[in-house]
Chain A
Amino acid sequence: MPARVHDTRVIAREERAPGVMMVTIQAPALSAAVFPGQFVMAELPSGCAAAVALAIYDAYDDIVSLLFFITGPRTRELAALAAGDSLALLGPLGNGFDLRDAPADVAIAAGGVGIASVLLPARELVRRRSRVRLFYGARSAALLVERERFVQAGCEVTLATEDGSEGLRGYVTDALEASAPAKLLLACGPTPMLRAVAQIATRTRVPAQLCLEETFGCGVGGCWGCVVPVAATSPRAPRFPSNEAGISYARICREGPVFMAEELRW
């Protein structure tokens, strides 16, 4: 089903950790249309700034849940939504993860709010009988929200915290690197983490799909505000002349947000 504006209603809002919000919404058509790795643009109730791009954390029955960090005034406004409030969501948007192969052994790396993009692919892969290992890192134990949900979904979960308050002390990529290579790697998190994941993928020759985070303008490909350098030969490179180095800029919101690690030239 094509993306469109969904006028939805908030059912629940919960602060899962300091500054980490879960907003649950009744949105049957949206829930039915979502692919793992897609996102929505959430319209601010005040309407006085651009909509906010949010990962679709979960979608089942007629429910969609959005998990996000409060990072500024716009996300603070969304965090103030209460049960019963209406919320316009544009979506689902973006290409999502390519899970057609569903190999036997899949590793998923999530850093911080990146966890919000990987529950749906994890669940889908488990359903298709892949072994799914989640490597989940955050600054501290309190920010490792929703880990039990991944255990329930059938994932093997390895945790890492930068302050050592839980799991391995260090980055999630340290935990990933210390483990046996999988057949497919999915990752979502801050750009430095994704770069590190891309390096691990190259070194271990594992194909990696990276879900990129960026500040969006329109979220639908109209403004070219969220680009990433890709090889001009990439299937996701826009049909566009490339520069002398064979690089083209792809829109994260439109050609992404999921890219193969090897097509990125960042």
Chain B
Amino acid sequence: MVSAEDARDVDLSVRIGGLRLRYPTMMGSGCYGSGEEFARFADLARIGAIVLKSVTRLPRLGNPMPRIVHTPSGMLNAIGLQNPGIDWYLEHEIGKLAERPCAIIGSVAGFSVGEYVEVTQRLAERPEIDAIELNVSCPNVASEGETFACDSRATSEVVSAARAATRKPLIVKLSPNVTDITVIAREAESAGADALAVINTVRGMAIDVERARPRLGNVAGGLSGPAIRPIAVLAVYEAARAVRIPIIGQGGIASLSDALEFFLAGASAIGIGTANFTDPRVPERIVDGLAEHLAGQGARSISEIVGRANVGFADVHQYEGDAG
């Protein structure tokens, strides 16, 4: 039997560059607003960080409706980076963040290296912002959106430039919609990323068969929720073997067991997004569950289980008889 005291003694903190998070849970960008929207229902003092909704240089109205389609064990979204632009954001929104009892990570999106640099620099110089996440993998904006995270040279270029623009911890959010995530992960690491967020949503589409039309206003969207969890677990497993920087594993985490999969695959922290739409108490339950689980295993800190499931990749045995 695990006592509450044992569970309290477990160290769940995690370090992302120079930033220490009390809990290894980060609320996924675009899923948690600025925190204010959920603060009514969830105890923000019991989460590690909020990753803010992505900001671009200019205001964006976002995609036409419908923007959300529910799918089996998941959800497609195509919001299209609706945001007020960095000028307005700094003037009207950012001050409200000072009172949040958890870390605040700004998310930067853009369409050129110059835009990423400008927004990163202006956001990062604010004291309310503890770290920057580069959203180089939004699947929901026309053509250029995902280009950065799908091209190793572009990833390298944008990460290097953003790295030069701030000393605050820099997280790069990777796309699963690539041939080999380890290539992009290594590029981001050598360009100066402090951590990788793995993964953004998986591109997808749903069709209304009666109207014979795409269901999303944007036609294509990003799939999230439990449906993408196995894709995310593998991406984390592969990326963790390829780089030394911490990985924030995310994609369909809704329970303690889901969270453990990601830590065991090699994530140092986890992102929780769509599960907040199921129940805003999920992040707290996961934190409580982790402490109890680790205490039950006799572990003193979350770091003890990170990557524990790493057994490499199974050799493919060929029977001699099959060779011909």
Using CB atoms and an 8 Å cutoff, list the residues of chain A in contact with chain B.
Answer: 2-5, 41, 43-44, 47-51, 72-74, 88, 90, 214-228, 239-241, 243, 247-249, 254
Contacts and interface: CB of A to CB of B under 8 A. Distances in A.
A17 to B, nearest CB: 21
A90 B65 contact: no
Given A50-B274, A249-B61, A217 B77 contact: yes
A126 B82 CA distance: 41
B37 A215 contact: no
Contact of A222 (B33, B85, B226, B278): B33
Interface of B: 30-33, 37-38, 40-41, 53, 59, 61-62, 65-70, 72-75, 77, 79, 82, 84-85, 88, 92, 225-226, 254-255, 274, 276-281
Contact of B30 (A88, A221, A223): A223
A216 B68 contact: yes
21 contacts: A3-B41, A4-B40, A5-B279, A49-B74, A50-B70, A50-B225, A50-B277, A50-B278, A51-B277, A217-B277, A220-B33, A220-B40, A221-B33, A221-B37, A223-B30, A223-B33, A223-B79, A224-B67, A225-B68, A247-B61, A249-B82
Nearest to B67: A225
Contact of B40 (A2, A240, A241): A2
Given A227-B65, A240-B59, A241-B85, A51 B278 contact: yes
B254 A48 contact: yes
Give the 5 A-B residue pairs with the shortest CB-CB distance, closest first.
Answer: A222-B33, A225-B68, A50-B277, A222-B37, A241-B59
A227 to B, nearest CB: 6
Chain A CB within 10 Å — which of B33, B53, B66, B88 has the most?
B33
Contacts of A47: 254-255, 278-279
B107 to A, nearest CB: 14
Given A218-B37, A222-B32, A227-B62, A49 B73 contact: yes
A48 B73 contact: yes
Contact of A215 (B31, B40, B70, B74): B70
B280 A49 contact: no
Give the secondary structure class of B's interface: loop
Contacts of A51: 277-279
A148 B14 CA distance: 60
B126 to A, nearest CB: 19
B62 A249 contact: yes
Contacts of A222: 31-33, 37-38, 276
B301 to A, nearest CB: 28
A193 to B, nearest CB: 17
A224 B79 contact: yes
Contacts of B75: 49-50, 217
Contacts of A214: 65-66
Contact of B41 (A4, A228, A240): A4
B280 A227 contact: no
A43 B278 CA distance: 6
Contacts of A5: 41, 279-281
